[in-house]
A and B are shown apart, each in its own frame.
Chain A
Amino acid sequence: MNDLRLTERDLDNRTARMTARKVQVHYGQNHALKDVDVDILDKTVTAFIGPSGCGKSTFLRCLNRMNDTIAACRVEGQITLEGEDIYDRRVDPVQLRAKVGMVFQKPNPFPKSIYDNVAYGPRIHGLARNRAELDEVVEKSLRRAALWAEVKDRLHAPGTGLSGGQQQRLCIARAVATEPEVLLMDEPCSALDPIATAQVEELIDELRENFSVVIVTHSMQQAARVSQKTAFFHMGHLVEHGDTAQIFTNPRDPRTESYITGRIG
């Protein structure tokens, strides 16, 4: 309880990095998200929880406009990054996605070498001036993703030849290599063993020093361990949003309570 109060205290002086107001998402006729209002705070881990199909991934994809690639998807409402509307006509989604990185639900490494997977982002964004710098970025990213020890001797082996959990950590390394301001993680630990999970959680905690992290998870324990803020989604509605400690110890909505105690979902 003590640590939770500590985190609560230093939350107060943090500003909202991203804000979402009255966000509606339709997939054709399917109204997938209804009136979602969330703030993603600076240097904070926000967890999205909720039963399967409630729209967590959909909302996450709104935050870096990955929904643009789905023809049937329509997003309404306002989402801002640093006060600027990311759905403004002048915004280039490519630039946005360099600032708001993403780790997907299913590991999706490129069919290239481990090194090239991690180096791809820095290369296209010109983040390394020379080979040595690039090597450094790759090593740092792989270390952050707790993968370095396992792959340092085979950086030029194909990334698709790794195990599922290793592939997911490779995707995390690839996402952090571009130093995004906000990192969106869609169930990053669903394919990981407890040790790798603990390492990723440590990484998330470390990333919090510089970035905002949004993590979707089905594990209540994980949400409680890593996040300072929690948002509970249910059937397209944002039911409750607040400090993690409050959500888990004293939920206001009965649906939240039944979900975290395991009665719905």
Chain B
Amino acid sequence: MTPAAPASSLLVPDARTQARNRAEARFRLYGLAAVSAAILMLAVLMGSILSNGLSAFRQSYITIPVTLDAATLDKAGTRDPSGLRQVSATAYGKLIARNLQAALAAKGIATDGLKPKDIAALLSEDAGARLRNMVLADPGLIGRTIDADLLASGRVDGFLKGRVTEESAAKDSKIKPAQLTLVSAMKGAGMIGLRLNPAFLTAPDASEKRPEAAGLGVAIIGSAYMMIVVLALSLPIGVAAAVYLEEFAPRNRFTDLIEVNISNLAAVPSIVFGILGLAAFINFAHLPRSAPLVGGLVLTLMTLPRIIIPARAALKAVPPSIRDAALGIGASRMQTVLHHVLPLAAPGILTGMIIGLAQALGETAPLLLIGMVAFVRDYPGLPPAGLADPATALPVQIYNWTQRADPAFVERASGAIIVLLVFLMLMNGAAILLRRRFERRW
């Protein structure tokens, strides 16, 4: 007789159960660790971008009364626009410099040891040009004294933002410690300060020498134009291709070949599409360089396979019984697709579309090859003609600014990254919204 096995109680977990529970707890811990690591890295990334880039949205301005002296700005005294245009930005620059000296004297701020040239250097080279534009837009200002906000130079801006210090200035050929002392005094007198800088989003790029004036205007327009081209071409072509392949095409070697090729194209590095675009659109078709049209075409080539694949997956996910139901009551294949299959697949197709667009928006390499890296100061015109005007794109502008020597451009590049990320988030938000809307129809 063997002793009866001890009755197992549900209240005491046995060894196997305990081991299983431990394994489960470990597994959960791994998962939690992985998610935490990802969140941490994201936080570090966002933290560094925000801390470097947020200051790009604020800019230093020197506020002084400026007398728009008619004798200098309008010698003829006729306020004739063509005559006013004869006066160069440099002349405006000199006028501002004189006014700055006068303002400093009026406030009783000492400028010992600084030459007039050093005082003028506190202002951006762009300040004169901006004032000139203001006067040309409103000639009535001539002869009056206005309170003008004048763009400060990049080094002065850096000093107010803490990037430039007395020590760094000692080694810097572009600014002297004495100038910084003067800036501190001006700050005490309320003549200079940081304020919101919408020009960062609207102004065109500026040269190496004036980072304070550089903006994203042309790049944002260029990127927007390219997205218009990509959307207008790849949505209809991509959806039509996906619908044809999924719903109408016979299954044979030829369609198999097409399928394999689409999958391969989705994996082709984007720079290859740049080379293709250079050869096909610029060298062969003679489309202009640096144009958003060409950029959009190249990005369309790159985006198409990346749209077709998720669109086909979305179509495949529609249950076949729905197709049977529609065909069974005498709907044509076209009606079946348009009335039943496409609406059900639309959320998936749209999500794929927007993710494809977002990838295209962040793409840099192919655009470098078709010349969108050029320095462009003129805004492109309105579409459709403007699509062929030279422009840059957001990611290329970021790349461009990171290549420049002046550290002020690092701040600009980070600011541009923030702008790019905001656009991407808006697009993803739109994807989620659209999906919700369509899904609410069940």
Contacts and interface: CB of A to CB of B under 8 A. Distances in A.
B251 interface: yes
Contacts of A106: 321
A106 B328 CA distance: 13
A178 B324 CA distance: 16
Contacts of A177: 329
Contacts of A125: 330
Contact of A108 (B250, B324, B331, B339): B324
The DSSP consensus for interface residues of chain A is helix
Contacts of B178: none
B339 to A, nearest CB: 7
A71 B319 CA distance: 17
B56 to A, nearest CB: 48
Given A124-B335, A158-B442, A160-B442, A69 B327 contact: yes
Interface stretch (A18-26, A29-37, A93-101, A235-243): A93-101
Interface string A96-115: 01110110101011111000
A171 B330 CA distance: 14
Contacts of B344: 111
B323 interface: yes
Interface size class of chain A, counting residues whose CB lies under 8 Å from the partner chain = 20 to 34
Contact of A102 (B319, B328, B331): B328
Contact of A121 (B250, B251, B330): B330
B330 A97 contact: yes
A124 to B, nearest CB: 6
A185 B327 CA distance: 15
Contacts of B330: 94-95, 97-99, 101, 121, 124-125, 178
A104 B332 contact: no
A97 B321 contact: no
A97 B251 CA distance: 24
B98 interface: no
A230 interface: no
A125 B328 CA distance: 13
Interface residues of B, number: 20
A111 B331 contact: no
Interface string B240-263: 000000000011000000000000
A220 to B, nearest CB: 27
A244 interface: no
B329 A121 contact: yes
Contact of B328 (A104, A109, A111, A158): A104
Contacts of A101: 328-330
B32 interface: no
A174 B331 CA distance: 13
Contacts of A95: 330
Interface string A116-152: 0000110011000000000000000000000000000
Interface in A166-225: 171, 174-175, 177-178
17 contacts: A64-B328, A69-B324, A97-B329, A97-B330, A98-B330, A102-B329, A104-B321, A108-B322, A108-B325, A110-B326, A112-B442, A120-B329, A120-B339, A160-B442, A174-B325, A177-B329, A178-B329
Interface of A: 64, 66, 69, 71, 94-95, 97-99, 101-102, 104, 106, 108-112, 120-121, 124-125, 158, 160, 171, 174-175, 177-178
Interface of B: 250-251, 319, 321-332, 335, 339-340, 344, 442
Given A66-B328, A175-B328, 4 more contacts: A95-B330, A97-B329, A110-B325, A111-B344
